[in-house]
Chains A and B, each alone.
Chain A
Amino acid sequence: MALRKRVVAVAVAAGLGLTACGGQSSGGGGDAIELTITQNAIAGGKNAAAAKFVADWVIPTFEAAQKAKGKNVTVTFIPSGVDDEQYKTKLSLDLKSGKGADVIDIDGIWAGEFAEAGYLKPLSEVVGPEADAWDGWAQIPEAVQGMAEFDGKKYALPVGTDGRVLYFNKSLFAKAGLPADWQPKSWQEILDAGAKLKSAGVPVPIQINAGTAMGEATAMQGVLPLLAGAGGEVHRDGKWTGASQPLKDALGLYQKIYGGGLGDPRLQQEAKGRDKSFQQFAQGKIGILMEGDYFWRGVVNPKTGVAKMADRDQAVGYALIPAIEPGKGIRGQDFVSMSGGALRTVNPGSKHPKEAFELLAFTLSPEALKEETKDGNVRVTPRSDVNKEILAGEPLLTFISEKVLPLTAYRPPVAVYPQVSVALQEATAAVAGGTPPDQAAADYQKKLEGIVGGAGNIAS
């Protein structure tokens, strides 16, 4: 009998639990204001330095500043630190239900789809006029501002940006009789260097990401910069690019590299292929590698990298990514690149949007950015005034900031882009596996029609 009572009690408790427990209360009574801030960062794990910075510097400094103004504000950091896709899923679910932190970091590429879904609102609506009047805007280059815009309205503040270059191993280059200040002016020069590296016995002369296993890395450090180099864009003036000549050219370069023995096609298929490409570069097995500045900061960094190179500063060279031929890149450029970057914004469901924006703006103030990038955490910030100071001792980042960013391009911030990207990755996989570029391009166009809703949305 006793047990039955207990069972009933559990059932009742369960029933009560459904209505009574849970539910984080942001805000609350009195004059105390509670704010939360979230990033895909966690102490002891992914982006640990960023998490530490928010917890140890941003929060106490901001709280003290508010206290000085007579406001009682407490800020809590909500760490995450998982795959970007999963972080995005969680943010979407939170925002859809009116939950989530007051200040949120997102990848720049998500802005459009979050706006379309109503998960984010223009900052001027959420916060008020002070958002557009923020004094930092004057310091942020147009192109970087564009990342935070959708339909002409600002949805967030940019947190940073990056750029892609060609890295090369100077000792291998010396062995192959190539210069230490190498700067190819056309794709043919890349292939020629690859051929020389090959005859000098370098196992993998060129690594340009291909295939689906590398995911978005194939797009950002592979087909998109090549497409730009051939004068094409994946999405232009509301239309998608199909089996155009630039795409065929880009895939043609893949064919010459992977069909011509200048790259390792198997590496592109491995689930952990990108990790291995890093290790191989660090071990001196790869001659030329297309990567973002993250490679320099986080991979071959002699102190904190995942594939440390003790002699990075001497052994690793970098060059701009050339167009197929001089002047044939997008906008008639000689050199091209692709950029991404993070955004930080205020949750439209925030109970204290004004204070949340103050916190947001504070994290992007010159003093905060300088503090954040101290002690080997240098990155390209969105603010030119800050970059001038902090990048002084960083040749690669200065190169990115001064040479790469003026000629870079961004991905289209729309919800179907991830699918288009997968279709592009599949096209590169096919070519690396032996399919002729024309055939792969035609297959891509067919898939694209299915993704973007018919041939009408594709530029002919």
Chain B
Amino acid sequence: MTRFVLGRIGFSTLVAVLLAFFTLPLLWLVTAPFTSNPTYEVTVPDFTWDNFAAVVEHPYALPSLWNSVVLSAGTAALVVAFAALAAYALSRVRLPGRDALLYALLLLSSIITGTAAMVPLFQLAVELNLIDSQFGLILILTGGLLPAAIFMLKDFVDATPQSYEESARVFGASPLQIVRHVVVPLVRPGLATIAVWAVANVWGNFLMPYLLLSDVRKQPAAVITYTLYTEGGQANLSMLSTFGLLYSIPVVLMYLFVSKKYGFRFHGGIKR
């Protein structure tokens, strides 16, 4: 009994500390948008809506959020679909050089996110006529994310038992049907994780969209965020904080949706 009580107390303390740690830096994001002339100081706001009005009037701010949704949803969809197929095949069939290839790709994927890769990627996009195309940008971003996605998903597929697949096969299901109706439900938490991860990666990506999309009406919110500065490079804190708050709402909604619909509620589908 004492052990139980101590455990409860320990748990509550730990959770309280965690909540404090993760909440504290976010305070500014909650107060500054409602403050007129905000500074770096967290103060009790005077609850003005002027900052929101300014963001709504901004010609590119709200449309850019939609572009972010398009880019991240498109990339996440491609990453999940292609990674799922590849991870399943790589998990179930021994293709020659499989593991070495995966590791090599994973290592190369880290170089592509670096600053030094922008010239090759840009020139490649020029040659392939992918400049100023959201679809082209989605393809490029997908290519960079796929190795890590396959890598992660393969773990999930590896961990699922094959007995269901065998039974499905006995009933004459094709491999694709098996993937769709048997494997996908089993690895759903993994797919949800990959999807959220892909969205997070694209959501904050500035450099590639900026370089590859020249039409400002196609650019995502990450690029627009960087424009909320003055001539001398001083931050426009009222716009930045307000836009930042709006910028974070879609991903919070997405998280709530994913976690409710697919994510962490599932217990792998394995028989208890």
Contacts and interface: CB of A to CB of B under 8 A. Distances in A.
A21 B229 contact: no
A46 B210 CA distance: 15
Interface string B63-80: 000000000000000000
A22 B211 contact: no
A455 interface: no
Nearest to B216: A79
Interface stretch (B133-141, B158-166, B259-267): B133-141
Contact of B176 (A3, A274, A294, A306): A3
A275 B235 contact: yes
Contacts of A83: 226, 233
Interface string A75-107: 000111111101001100110110100000000
B176 A1 contact: yes
B234 interface: yes
A152 interface: no
Contacts of A307: 234
Contact of B227 (A7, A17, A42, A275): A42
Contacts of B174: 1
A18 interface: yes
Q: Identify the interface centre among B39, B57, B118, B227: most chain A CB within 10 Å of its CB.
A: B227
Contacts of A298: 230-232, 234
A89 B211 contact: yes
Given A3-B180, A22-B132, A93-B118, A45 B126 contact: no
Interface string B238-251: 01000000000000
B133 A22 contact: yes
A19 B20 CA distance: 52
A340 to B, nearest CB: 12
Interface in B172-187: 174, 176-177, 179-180
B1 interface: no
Nearest to A84: B233
Contacts of A96: 123
Contact of A17 (B40, B135, B207, B231): B135
A434 to B, nearest CB: 28
A22 B131 contact: yes
A43 interface: yes
Contacts, number: 130
A294 B224 CA distance: 23
A299 B131 contact: no
A44 B211 contact: no
A86 B210 contact: yes
Interface residues of B, number: 48
Given A14-B139, A90-B210, A45 B223 contact: no
Contacts of A4: 176
A299 B85 CA distance: 55
A24 interface: yes
A440 to B, nearest CB: 26
A55 to B, nearest CB: 10
Contact of B229 (A7, A18, A19, A46): A46
Nearest to B229: A46
Q: Identify the interface centre among B57, B59, B226, B232: most chain A CB within 10 Å of its CB.
A: B232
A78 B85 contact: no
Interface in B43-60: 57-60
B139 to A, nearest CB: 6
Given A44-B59, A47-B231, A86-B207, A18 B118 contact: no
Given A22-B129, A86-B210, A42 B60 contact: yes
A278 interface: yes
B236 interface: yes
Contacts of A2: 176
A165 B12 CA distance: 59
A18 B59 contact: no
B228 interface: yes
A271 to B, nearest CB: 12
Contact of B129 (A18, A45, A81): A18
A23 B215 CA distance: 12
B130 interface: yes
Contacts of A274: 233
A22 B224 contact: no
Nearest to B179: A3
Contacts of B179: 3
Given A7-B85, A43-B60, A278 B234 contact: yes
Complex A-B, nearest 8 residue pairs according to Cβ-Cβ distance, in ascending order:
A45-B227, A81-B227, A44-B58, A22-B133, A306-B234, A22-B129, A97-B126, A93-B122
7 contacts: A24-B131, A44-B60, A80-B227, A82-B226, A89-B211, A99-B131, A306-B230
Given A3-B176, A99-B131, 5 more contacts: A17-B130, A21-B135, A24-B214, A93-B118, A275-B234
Interface of A: 1-4, 7, 10, 14, 17-24, 42-47, 78-84, 86, 89-90, 93-94, 96-97, 99, 272, 274-275, 278-279, 294-295, 298-299, 306-307
